[in-house]
Structure 1
Amino acid sequence: MPDLADRLPEPPARRPDLDDDFAGPRLRDDLWIDHYLPQWTTPDRSAARYDLGDRGLRLRIDEDQRDWRPEDAPLRVSNIQTGTFAGPLGSGQGTHRHRPDGLVVRTATPARLLWAPAAGRVDVTVSASADKGCMFAVWLVGTEHLDARDSGEVCVFEIEAADLTTARCGIKAHHDDRLRQEMTEVTIPVDAARPHTWTAIWGPDGTVIGCEGVELFRSAQAPLYPQFLLIDLWELGGRTGKYPKTAWIHRVRGWDNSR
């Protein structure tokens, strides 16, 4: 467990390449795609449910929302991400081939690299969901648009509503044999249901993940190829409890250090 005296470095002095507090009347389409991995399913299943307001963007799982794919039911998700990549219809080519049951492209999805640094820093201010059956997550995953091996993930956090005191974070190799799986469970140093900021820094020196300025994870590994940022709220079981189920994204700032 890292010493709580281990502080994260300050953000770069230059302006962020990505900076959004979701204060506009609509989601910025120059930064975000409001579908979860749309190539592997259909638009009615991948589309996010969300609201914009004074606090930022509220992701929702609604009672009438459909499962992301019929094969994965029950699993519903609302997500925003900073790009898409997929091969032709019927192919198995696309970002995040994470399922073992033969994902194929069901929806033609153009390549959009809105924010996809190969090294950088991201600060994400959020309030996690306390709703039954939900998990809230922020992660960076290889785009795969240059090479199918470029699939590694920096998992900034996964927080399950059943336990808002801990999170999982680290590195997931997926199809990248240059990486090894390196995930850990950490204690969240603040109340995760209230606004707090997570940070991920990755590059040639490795990967560092922290929360509220405190370093929680460090690795010599890093996926050094273009990465999309994804922020998502999942409902992992069947329909239960009250709706909508929600989590907040208050602000996102990102710096591309690969330029």
Structure 2
Amino acid sequence: MQNKRDERTLEAGQIYYKQFNEEIRNLVKDGVTQFTIKNCHGQRYIGIAMEGDLVFDIYGVPGQDLAAFMRGPYIRVHNNAQDGVGNTMDGGRIVIEGLAGDVLGYAMRGGEIFVHGDVGYRVGIHMKAYLEHQPKIVIGGKAGDFLGEYMAGGIILLLGMFSGKPDAPVAGRSLGTGMHGGVIYVRGKVHQEQLGSGLHAQPVDSEDLKVIKELTNEYAKELKLDSKEILSENFVKIRPFSHRPYGNLYVPC
């Protein structure tokens, strides 16, 4: 029989973020493994550097750098999230039922981030894979400029479906600028003028479809969506031509 989790409900309210995070860390030391956080009002750094089998249910809007350096826990945000979600994250899963801000998944090295709606600028910048760790970001809505900038590994899946910006393109300008690893999958079409220099969108193959289906099924299960509807459209992939996209700009001495 599985041991019952030690659960705790916390009221964030107007508590200063440093004090609030100290309380969480102390409770983890005491054996608490499941947290319900209510009335979150922008408290920063929740879940930062947390490891292991921990669960956080957050009601309200967490502040910047949610789950930075996280390695293992599961975090569910029943609302929107601010900038810097999953900064240098190593493992675990983050599910955001609303929107997310800029630089989500910065230098992310493992785990998954699932966002139901739109995201801001420079999402997935410097994202990278490490050994067997393959970071993944799924965006149900649309993305701002510089999605996947300098991306070195991992997977970004951009659906463009659940967006508050019906007239906007699926992504902003300079998608994949400086990309030298990993792959970006986009549901539907991407106009060439949106892509970074030296990139182009191409049809997915059977191996790509296996990856997309597996990731879509996980995403749809988490957010109670119809995976068949998501997979009913064609996808394109964006990959780098070179692991050194700017190599020809430097002259050896």
Structure 1 and Structure 2 fold alike (TM over 0.5): no
Normalized per residue, the structure richer in strand is 1
Normalized per residue, the structure richer in helix is 2
TM-score, normalised on structure 2?
0.24
TM-score, normalised on structure 1?
0.24
Relative contact order, higher structure (CA 8 A, sep 6+): 1
